[in-house]
Every structure is written in C-alpha cells, then in structure tokens.
C-alpha cells in the first residue's frame, strides 16, 4: 500500500506557494487585455515621470512662425494656435492626469474604505445614518457633484488653504488649482467606495475571529484596523484602479468646462477646450490627439481594473 502521508505525497496534494514573479507571469498569460492595459498605464506613468527628458520641446514655448502646423517630422503631432508643440504638451499633460487621478482615487477610496468598514462594524443606528448620507451623495452624478464642489467659493477658500497650510506647500496658482480639482473629484468617489467595501465588511463582521477579538476586550479601532480592513483590501484595490480612469475623465471634463486646470498648465482637457470647436475642421489634430490620450488612458485603467477584479475576487476565479 502506498504511503500517502509522506513528504512526496504531501507536496503533490498541497498547492505550492506562488511567487510574485509567477503571479505576474500568470496574470499576463491568463489576462492579456488586462496586461495590455497595465503596459499602457506604465507607459503613461513613465511619460509623466520623465516628461522633461522625453518631450522634444518646452510645452510652454511659443513659436509664432509655426502656428497651426500640421503633423510633420519636426512636430510629430502638429502645433496649436500659439505654435506650441502638441506632443510635448500631451507628454507633460500626462503629469497632470496621473497626479490628479492617483491622488483623487487614493484619497477617495481610502476614506471610503474607513467609512464603509466602520459603518459595517458598528451597525445599528450608526450604519443607518451613514448609509442614508451616502445615498444622498450618490444621488448626484459624479460630474454634477464635482462641478458643485469646484464652484463653491467658501469650500475652495477654506479647504484648499487648509490643505496647503498643513502640507507646507508654497501657495502657487498651479498647486492651488490642482489641489482644488483633486478635492472636487475625491468627494463624489467616497460614497461609492464606502458602499462596495461595506458589503464585504458585513460578512467579515460575523466571522469567529472578530467575535473572539470582541470577547478578549480589544478596542474597536484595533478590531477594525487589524481584522476587518486587511480582509477588504481586494475590493479596495479594485476601486482605486477603477477610480483612476474616472478621475482622469473628470479632470479632463472640468478643464474643458473651464473649472479645472487653467492655461498655461498642460492638461488634456484644456487642450480639447482650445481646439475642439474653433479648429475642428481647419486643424483637426488639435482635438484628435488629446482626445486619443484621454480615451487610451481611461480604457487602459478600465481593462486593468476589470482583470484585477477577476484575479482578486475569489467568486470570479476559474
């Protein structure tokens, strides 16, 4: 009779631990669309980090003799109505898009994580009040809520100044506008992440080790931070990835409407505002290339987010 309890048999029965490299290779092999989205995201992040080296021209440099130049070997994507190189402005615009997208999605998802887990843990009247407040916020579309926040002057003056003072950042026009846009995009995302995280936290609240922690007299914050939050990291990471694409799209929409980043800061939505209507027929490269940058980046984050959800959600694993 074969001894199935030996080391060799145990190795055959028990699944081997998968290294990070093997997990990445498996992700690229099983999720080609998500892997393609990740590659595009890495490219945009690389452009944002090394824009000063990669961009062929200064994005603010004006060439009056080359205004509205069509794409050529000198200007691969043409120039705008001020003679500025569009390719350089798109490369530098990736800094604005990635910065706003990263901070808005991270802050919004993190606050939503804390609110959602706390609401599920305490339950009762606390959960009821929190969920009704979240319903009020979620009744407004993302763009409408962002427009309302960015248009309220007292909100702008108080909160943005508060952030600048605590961060110790020099108050310049560029920094002021970017922080305002980040906050305007962050607030509408908080209730959406909180609702998703709460649904996962409700099940975790009833598991035996949480009851054991309560019985041992652990404080509420210790139970939330050590036992509940680590177990809802999968939906949290998925929400961050999903919010990145929405944040980039919202930043472009606010800039297009004149309520976001302002000239001369390179931003994709701002480039669309300057060329979408007036030069749509005479210089179509003005709206086409910034529009493609927005579309490709948002599509890449959506593809990667969907694939990441399939990998991290045990109900969707094959």
Q: Encode pLDDT of 186-241 as tens digits.
A: 988 999 999 999 988 888 888 888 888 888 888 888 888 888 888 888 888 888 98
198: domain CATH number? 1.10.3720.10
| Domain count across the chain | 1
Give 175 or 84, the one with higher predicted confidence. 84
Structure tokens at 221: 């914050």
Q: Assess whether pLDDT exceeds 90 at residue 295.
A: yes
Q: Is residue 279 part of a domain?
A: yes
The Cα–Cα gap between 105 and 71 comes to 35
Q: What is the mean pLDDT of the chain?
A: 82
Q: Which residues contact 173 (CB under 8 A, 6 or more apart)?
A: 262
Element (H, E) at 13: helix 7-13
Instruction: State residue 85 phi and psi, 5-degree precision.
Output: -70, 125
Structure tokens at 41: 């995201």
User: Mind giving me the DSSP string for 42-80?
Assistant: HHHHHHHHTHHHH-SS-TT---GGGTTPPS-SSSTT-B-
Q: Assess whether pLDDT exceeds 70 at residue 162.
A: no
Q: Is residue 232 part of a domain?
A: yes
Q: Is residue 273 part of a domain?
A: yes
CA geometry: angle at 44 spanning 105 and 308, to 5°?
A: 55
**Mind listing the pLDDT tens digit for each residue in 78-118?**
888 888 999 999 999 999 899 999 999 999 999 999 999 99
Q: Is residue 222 part of a domain?
A: yes
Structure tokens at 11: 């190795």
Please name every residue paired with 79 in a beta bridge, in sequence order, or none if there are none. Answer: 85
Q: For residues 255 and 247, is the Cβ–Cβ distance under 8 A? A: no
The Cα–Cα gap between 56 and 78 comes to 12
Report the pLDDT value the prediction gives residue 172, as an integer from 0 to 100: 63
The Cα–Cα gap between 53 and 108 comes to 32
| DSSP code of residue 31 | -
What is residue 85's three-state secondary structure? strand
pLDDT category, 276, cuts 50, 70, 90? low
Q: Is residue 264 part of a domain?
A: yes
H helices of 206-284, in order, are: 208-215, 220-223, 233-256, 268-275
Q: Is residue 52 part of a domain?
A: no
Q: Is residue 172 part of a domain?
A: yes
Report the pLDDT value the prediction gives residue 8, as an integer from 0 to 100: 43
Instruction: Give, to the nearest 10 degrees, the angle between helix 86-122 and helix 124-138.
Output: 150
What range does the domain containing 307 cover?
91-316
What is residue 173's three-state secondary structure? helix
pLDDT category, 173, cuts 50, 70, 90? low
Q: Is residue 85 part of a domain?
A: no
């Amino acid at each position: 009779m074969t001894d199935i309890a030996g080391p060799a048999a145990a190795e055959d029965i028990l699944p081997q631990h998968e290294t990070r490299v093997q997990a990445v290779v498996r992700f690229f092999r099983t999720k080609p669309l998500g892997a393609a989205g990740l590659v595009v995201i890495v490219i945009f992040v690389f452009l944002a980090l090394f824009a000063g080296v990669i961009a062929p021209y200064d994005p603010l440099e004006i060439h009056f003799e080359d205004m509205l130049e069509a794409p050529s070997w000198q200007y691969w994507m043409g120039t705008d109505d001020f003679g500025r190189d569009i390719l350089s402005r798109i490369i530098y615009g990736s800094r604005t898009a990635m910065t706003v997208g990263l901070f808005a999605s991270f802050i919004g998802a993190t606050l939503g994580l804390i609110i959602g887990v706390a609401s599920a843990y305490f339950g009762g009247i606390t959960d009821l009040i929190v969920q009704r407040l979240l319903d009020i916020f979620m009744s407004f579309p993302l763009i409408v809520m962002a427009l309302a926040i960015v248009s309220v002057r007292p909100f702008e003056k108080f909160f943005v100044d508060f952030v600048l003072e605590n961060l110790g950042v020099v108050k310049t026009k560029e920094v002021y506008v970017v922080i305002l846009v980040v906050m305007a995009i962050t607030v509408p995302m908080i209730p959406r992440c909180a609702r998703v995280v709460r649904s996962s936290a409700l099940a975790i609240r009833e598991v035996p080790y949480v009851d054991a922690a309560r019985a041992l007299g652990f404080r509420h914050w210790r139970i939330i931070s050590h036992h509940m939050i680590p177990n809802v990291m999968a939906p949290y990471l998925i929400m961050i990835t999903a919010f990145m694409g929405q944040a980039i799209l919202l930043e472009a929409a606010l800039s297009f409407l004149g309520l976001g980043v302002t000239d001369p800061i390179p931003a994709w939505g701002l480039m669309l505002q300057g060329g979408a209507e007036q030069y749509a027929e005479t210089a179509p490269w003005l709206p086409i290339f910034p529009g493609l940058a927005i579309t490709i980046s948002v599509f890449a984050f959506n593809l990667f987010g969907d694939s990441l959800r399939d990998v991290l959600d045990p109900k969707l694993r094959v």
